[in-house]
Amino acid sequence: MLTTQDMFVQQYYLECLSHASYLIGDPTSGRAVVIDPQRDVAQYIADAQEQGLRIDTVIETHFHADFLSGHLELAAKTGATIVYGIHAADRVEFPIRAMKHGEHINLGEVDLEILETPGHTPESISIVLRKNGPKSEPYAVFTGDTLFIGDVGRPDLLSAVGFSADELAHQLYDSLHNKLMKLPDSTLVYPAHGAGSACGKNLSTETVSTIGEQRRTNYALAPMVVEDFIDAVTQGQTVAPLYFLFAANKNREAHGLLSEDAAVNTLTISEVLQHQKNGAVVIDSRDDMMFAAGHLRHSINVGLTGRFAEYVGEVMQPGTPIILVAEPGYEVEAKTRLGRIGFDNVIGALADPIRTFMEHPEVVEKASRLSIEAFTERVASVKSLNVIDVRNAGEVALGTVPGSQHISLPSMIHEIQNLDPTLPTVVFCAGGYRSSIAASLLRSHGFSDVSDLIGGYTSWSNANIPATLPTTTVHAAAVDTSSLLLDVREEDEWNEGHISGAVHIPMAQLPEKLFEISHGQRIVVVCRSGNRSGKVTAWLLSKGIDAVNMTGGMLEWVKESLPVQSGK
């Protein structure tokens, strides 16, 4: 919060959606505006009253796709005028004030100037704040999704509805360089999102910066021609969550208002089962361990402690009726968080879930969750095992389980039809939160044998391999002339020293290069310590290839003074 004698600025940061909104007031006049509000608006009204301010304007920087904004709620509660950029004028179903580039909102001494900054969306605007009238030095700029801390707004979200990513990226380049970067370096930058938002790919955990700092450190603002800029900001973006188009369209409509803190209907198990039979989706918002211990059959686990609303929006179609299973006392929070993305169709919540499950074991099932040891042994023993990595592409690029199939969580709902529900399946993410969602989603669609990996890829990459895998010692490998030595370390490790005659294929490249070594010969797998090689051994065994792990790896080989060759 920034409070001076002549200005009040409050940032509100909603971690679960990585969303920043703002209350700006002029104490001399008592007037205030809110920029990009979340849908539950009581906090803005309470803070304004505490500061002796009256909210008379709501400014939306664009049609948000990742949340349902609170402009209608604020207008209904305060009588505030809703402001959009001029290019939104013919696309809304409610009264607005459409403002052009260079127009001002005068709060008294505090002045707000509208800048048209299209690129993330065609109607995007930014708002320049001046403390002492329109002629004074810019103090801050509220950039919406045009400029983030460390990134810029992705231009590809509207490519399916009349605007190509390249067209919007051209506009974004102009908005950044010919408008925002013309502001003084000291100008504070207040964006609409921070790290975790799907509206960009490299957002910082910081929520405020300066134009000068962004000029120096933001990759998208480095000197480059527009063609290179387009490549930089369109490549490597994550799959947009399923609900984004729904929310963007909903923000243009005169939709119903959110009723904050309204009670959630309680439902009996019979009522829940009937709604489920009629097409409702049961969302279990308890943590993954409680869900695994026992849950309603065909329910989907999205823990309330994480990015609850966003992930619900990735695994079900908007408008689908929702039944909640929540820890007692958290039903209203779950409903409110769903309302923030426009998922208002919550029928109710199951009454007293634990007691209900104990009294009706016939409708309850447990979730299969695998330890790293159980997972590795399953990879080695189940020939038809389908392993699915549900992380984002950028995470996968840094390493994955050999032989796994990459289907990001936002893509899963579309790819289910292409998967075999009869195959034993294991899903994993980084730590276990998203994989529990994905596994429960698959089970809700009839997959009969689905597990997820406890601790995710982090656990897999850090864990020791199980002792049940076939192994060989370094001395046995040194005199073994009939087997193929396969070194799965990275290239720099290989160049520092390797076993003469060994074949080098880094672990991540092995699935695509397996044909180079799969000729019926026994394979001795080598890495630095025996950990990575153990996992590769398990994977090779699952492919029907005779493989053993060299225990101790190159560390043990060198320790025993066995010969090492350096270089490529």
**Residue for token digits 């998208």?**
220
Tell me if residue 19 falls in helix, strand or coil.
strand
Query: Is the same domain home to 48 and 182?
Result: yes
User: Which tokens go with 466?
Assistant: 């199980």
Please tell me whether residues 399 and 268 are part of one structural domain: no
Q: What is the pLDDT of residues 93-136, one digit of tens each?
A: 999 999 999 999 999 999 999 999 999 999 999 999 999 999 99
Structure tokens at 75: 């207008």
85 membership: H or E segment, kind and range: strand 81-85
CATH code, domain with 418: 3.40.250.10
The domain boundary, picked from 208, 240, 272, lies at 240
Residue 17 DSSP symbol? G
Q: How far apart, in whole angstroms, are the C-alpha atoms of residue 280 and residue 431?
A: 29
The span from the CA of 83 to the CA of 7, in Å, is 21
Quick: pLDDT tens for 472-496: 999 999 999 899 999 999 888 999 9
Regarding whether 318 and 387 lie in a shared domain, the answer is no
Residues in contact with 80: Cβ distance below 8 Å, sequence separation at least 6, in sequence order: 34, 55, 56, 57, 58, 74
Question: What 8-state DSSP symbol labels residue 194?
Answer: -
Report the C-alpha gap between 229 and 252 in whole angstroms: 30
Indicate whether 375 and 444 sit together in one domain.
yes
pLDDT of residue 384: 84
484 by DSSP, 3-state: which? Answer: strand
Q: Which residue carries 């899903």 as its tokens?
A: 427
pLDDT for 159 equals 52
By C-alpha distance, which of 73, 70, 6 is closest to 35?
Answer: 70
pLDDT mean by block of 10 residues, the chain; 568 residues: 77 95 96 98 97 97 96 97 95 96 96 96 96 95 96 78 83 96 97 86 88 94 91 82 91 94 93 96 96 96 94 93 96 96 97 96 95 82 88 84 88 93 95 94 95 92 70 92 92 92 88 79 92 84 86 93 88
Mark whether 292 and 341 lie in a shared domain: yes
Are residues 132 and 201 both part of a single domain?
yes
* Residues acting as catalytic residues: 527
What is the total count of domains within the chain? 4
* Joined tokens for residue 222: 């480095």
8 A C-beta contact, residue 193 and residue 146: no
Mean pLDDT score of the chain: 92
> Are 40 and 133 in the same domain?
yes
Q: What is the pLDDT of residue 352?
A: 95
Last residue of a domain, one of 181, 208, 240: 240
Residue 463 lies in a domain: no
| N- to C-terminal Cα separation, the chain | 58
Q: Do 268 and 353 meet the contact criterion of CB atoms below 8 Å apart?
A: no
Say if residue 142 is in the same domain as residue 66: yes
Query: For position 50, which CATH number holds?
Result: 3.60.15.10
555 lies in a domain? yes
Sheet holding 322-325, edge to edge: 266-267, 346-350, 322-325, 281-284, 300-301
Tens of pLDDT, residue by residue over 385-429, are 899 999 988 888 878 887 789 999 999 999 999 999 999 999 999
* Domain assignment present for 249: no
The CA-atom distances, in angstroms, between 204 and each of 183, 195, 200, 224, 430 are 21, 5, 10, 22, 19
> Do 378 and 448 belong together in one domain?
yes
Does residue 461 lie within any of the structural domains? no
Domain stops at, among 365, 385, 402: 365
How many CA within 13 A on the CB side of residue 265?
11
Assess whether 356 and 309 both reside in one domain. Answer: yes
55 plus 129 within the same structural domain: yes
384 and 422 in contact (C-beta within 8 Å)?
no
Cα(312)–Cα(247) distance, rounded to whole angstroms? 13
pLDDT for the residue 465: 62
Residue 554 in domain: yes
User: What is the model's pLDDT at position 65?
Assistant: 93
What is the tens place of the pLDDT at every residue in 36-51?
999 999 999 999 999 9
Classify burial at 261, counting beta carbons within 10 Å of its beta carbon; exposed 0-12, middle 13-18, buried 19 or more.
exposed
Residue 316 placed within a domain = yes
The DSSP output letter for 318 is: T
Q: What is the DSSP letter of 152?
A: B
120 within a domain of the structure (yes/no): yes
**Strand 31-35 with 19-26, pairing:** antiparallel
What tokens appear for 311 in the block? 């992930």
Domain that includes residue 350, residue range: 261-365
Q: Helices 331-339 and 308-315 sit at what angle, rounded to 10 degrees?
A: 70
With tokens 């004030």, the residue in question is 97
Q: What is the pLDDT of residue 160?
A: 47
Decide: pTM greater than 0.85.
Answer: no
> Is residue 382 assigned to a domain?
yes
**Whether 169 and 61 share a structural domain:** yes
